[in-house]
Chains A and B, each alone.
Chain A
Amino acid sequence: MRMFAKAFFAFLFGSLIAFCAENETELPHLNIEERTIENGLRVVVYNTGSKGVVCSGVGYFVGSADDPRDVFGISHVLEHMMFQGTKNLSGADLQKIVFVGDIYSNAFTSYDMTLYYHLSNKPFLDTALKIEAERMQNLLLDEKTLKSELEVITEERKMRTESDPLTNFVDEASSKCLYLFSSYSYPVIGYVDQIKSCTAEKIREHYRKFYRPNNAFVILVGDITMDEALKLVQKHFGSIKSGTPVKRSRVIDPANTGLCFSIDHSDKNISIRKLDLVFRVDRSMFDNVKKLATLEIAASILGDGDCSVLGHYLIDRRHMALSVGASVDVRAFDKGHVILSFVCNKGSTGDDIDYIASKIIIYPFADTLLTKELFEKEKTKMLEQIDILEDNPQSAGMFVLPYIINGYNLQDVKKLRSIIQNISLDDVKRVAKSLFTKENRALRVYNHPKE
């Protein structure tokens, strides 16, 4: 009798599990695979079916947030110098091959990563990877070229930061407010005096420390299979020895300081009134693929574009804003943020929008304005966006990249469609409720004309 009871409850329990599993929808996986070769180099392949074209990149897990404190901007300087020549390839020849032979080629440095990428016709892929392997191990630095390139970077800083009356130094000030002690508070490009103090020796040291196969990944997107990729990667990178494992030490900010900063920037060269409201997002709210997708759904429904809840209210009903936007900014080693942006219409100020948007839309959003209809539409849109991205290997590559940089499990990214489909309205409400509160507001930035 006891055995029969046990069997019966086991059967009940099993049926319950099966029932729950059946109600989880399984959608087609993204065609993503990952391997690691012997020297620690990760190989990520995303086969999107694009014919004859591959977007390839070599990324290093080093960014401006890893820069030594006396040389902020060194990772970016190194990125520039990677185009100036190696032991076996002069700068002129490297530039010729890359900027003539590739459909498009570029590189960028962010807080947590530096990436060198190529959009190539498939036959050129071998050359592209050969160049990256050469750059990974044989960079040549000479003081004369470095001096010239430091001038170029100073120009770049002037162009990107100092000459734009709208952003000017406001973006740098914002970072200082959002990250008090962490290296995320410093600009990727660094500061002029520190840029100019970069020496070849300091850069060499930085290069030797971080540019190792066991601190890097190769990503290939487009008309490529894992077998093809492994063959090429082994051919060009297989003989490169792995270095000492890299320890990235970071100062992490306190989880929630409770501080809310406000930046008021007025300038005679500013014509528009632009308001940004920034909400802090704890790491626990985006530490896996499902949570990140949930966060993105919440932010998008609330504030991304004319059709969002904020857009509908402020643009269409109250005519207070000309545009609204929302973006999610996550970091590999610290908290992230959601930024809601508004451009004020004639007759409205940042204070007006802040008061109305916060009181009527943002704070009550989770409880009263986040509807099932909006949620279902947003999920469908997100799923279709993946299909659209796959039409272009470069877009598809840029889509996958943040998951790699921020350390997400690519097996989950593969199942992204199913993960999105199985997010519930309650999941989104929970996130929105804890995120969009007065206490969680970290920063308000208001750019406006000098009256």
Chain B
Amino acid sequence: MRKVIYFAIAICCAATAFYWHKHSTPTFTLDDVEMTQAPLDIMAVDEGLPEKVWCVKTNSNMVYARLVFLGEGQRSFFQKPGLLDLILAVLPEGAGTRDGVELKRFLSDRSVGISFSASRDNIVVDVSCLKKHFHSAVGVLCDMLSSAHMPDHKIDSARQEMILATQQSLSYPEAVAQESLNNLLYASDHPYHQSSKGLLSALPKYARSDLLSAYGSIFSKDHLRVTFVSSLDNTEITQALGQIKKAVAQKKTLPIADAKQSVFPPAAIKFVELDNPQSSICFAFPGVLGSSTDVFSASLASDVLGGISFVSRLFFQVRGKLGLAYHISTQTDFDNDLFSCVAGIAGTRPENAEKVIDAIKTECKKLCSDGVSEEGLRLAKIRTFSKFSFTSGSNILNFVSLLRRRGVDIGAVNSYLSNFDKVSVSDVNSIVRKLFSPERMVLVACGTPTKKNINAENGRTK
């Protein structure tokens, strides 16, 4: 009997110790992470523009607005490299009744941000300000869109800045590798083709008359797409848009060149010499159009390959296990009119460049043959929801703008991310085999030549 009691006590103690260990040792998991996105209060308003204006309502004190002039980007100025950037750079140097000093001070005193940039396809104008300064900001914006002064000496300064920045970039392996990669992706007559040499040669030749002539044909109402993220009411938005429409009403419409979707070029590996203690490796695989139904699988596939720090295949292998690079990543470049790809970049020492290239090829081959695991896909999906979370108004603006770019209907905005959740392992593996085969990769390594690099595939090319 005594033995039975002792045995029972021993069992109880063991059970208590096990329970205590289990519940005092912390456990960590992603199982509780909800794949949801906060719904946006969004509506479309007809303001007499080619597309309705999308307005996202927030409670914030900040106003964010984006004006996209479709088709007016770099490719419409393909024969005149740098001209568009030069025009956009001098817009703050005086417009309407304000000279450059007055205009910049006006914006600075009110912490109003108005920025102009030219992507490959479009001109993007971003406005951000406190709500109380919005009306003033719109006034200045309209002046910049319609009556910029473009003084000669400011054109010269902006030109000088662009020349210096371009010349300086030629010392950085990353910039040189990227340009070389672009030259492989886009033939010299492709509207996306850009060259530093061409830019440096063209920039000094532009006269003020060239800028004014081009300026007269951009910011056309016929190409305008507008998105707001703010707590503005409809009257305030209508009033602002009325001013903007009036400002761009007199603009000639820039003819947008018709161009076909380009085909991904044949695989290539190229080495470019540059005297620098670091080498940069830029690479690309075929992509899919942002508007296609494959975009969900392809985006998840890119994340699995190289899109998530520490966790992605390339990062884990090249940095984590082999210690060859501080950074290696891939990202999708799907949202262009004429071309799409998955682009990657890595930095390493010249003597390790070949090892990194081999590691990239090996991981891609493994991904194509073994496929993505259920766990890998699950992580990529969770990542998609977390990276598209809304942390600020500008964040929301970027997300909504991306969806408009992809032709998503306004009614589908709040359910867009659920499309990622529906993707299966076989969907992703099918896309992986189509896109990430090492035999499709285009790669450029740029850095100081070593004996090994000289013997790299396809030889040494300057």
Contact = CB atoms under 8 A, between A and B. Distances in A.
A238 to B, nearest CB: 13
Interface string B26-51: 11111011100010000000000000
Contact of B100 (A92, A123, A269, A316): A316
Given A100-B379, A130-B26, A388-B111, A50 B104 contact: no
Query: Could you say which of B316, B322, B326, B349 has the most chain A C-beta atoms within 10 Å of its C-beta?
Result: B326
B180 to A, nearest CB: 17
B38 A89 contact: no
Interface residues of A, number: 74
A381 B109 contact: yes
Interface string B303-334: 00000111100001001111111110000000
A95 B310 contact: yes
B153 to A, nearest CB: 6
Contact of A162 (B101, B167, B275, B278): B278
A271 interface: yes
Given A88-B25, A156-B326, A384-B130, A97 B30 contact: yes
A50 B389 CA distance: 12
Contacts, number: 175
A134 interface: yes
B157 A148 contact: no
Interface of B, helix, strand, loop or mixed by DSSP: loop
Contact of A148 (B167, B311, B323): B323
A393 B165 CA distance: 33
A121 interface: yes
B391 A53 contact: yes
A392 interface: yes
A270 B308 CA distance: 34
B436 to A, nearest CB: 20
A387 B133 CA distance: 13
A158 B25 contact: no
Contact of A100 (B60, B168, B382): B382
Interface stretch (A170-178, A304-312, A350-358): A304-312
Interface in A340-396: 343, 345-346, 377, 380-381, 384-385, 387-388, 390-395
Given A96-B379, A103-B389, A384-B130, A155 B38 contact: no
Given A155-B324, A377-B109, A388-B111, 9 more contacts: A99-B383, A100-B379, A101-B386, A103-B387, A123-B32, A127-B28, A306-B108, A392-B392, A393-B392
Interface of B: 25-30, 32-34, 38, 59-62, 100-101, 104-105, 108-111, 130, 153, 156-157, 160-161, 164-165, 167-168, 170-173, 275-278, 308-311, 316, 319-327, 347-349, 379, 382-383, 386-387, 389-394
Interface of A: 50-53, 83, 88-89, 92-104, 119, 121, 123-124, 127, 130-131, 133-134, 147-153, 155-156, 158-159, 162-166, 269-272, 305-307, 312, 315-316, 319, 322-323, 343, 345-346, 377, 380-381, 384-385, 387-388, 390-395
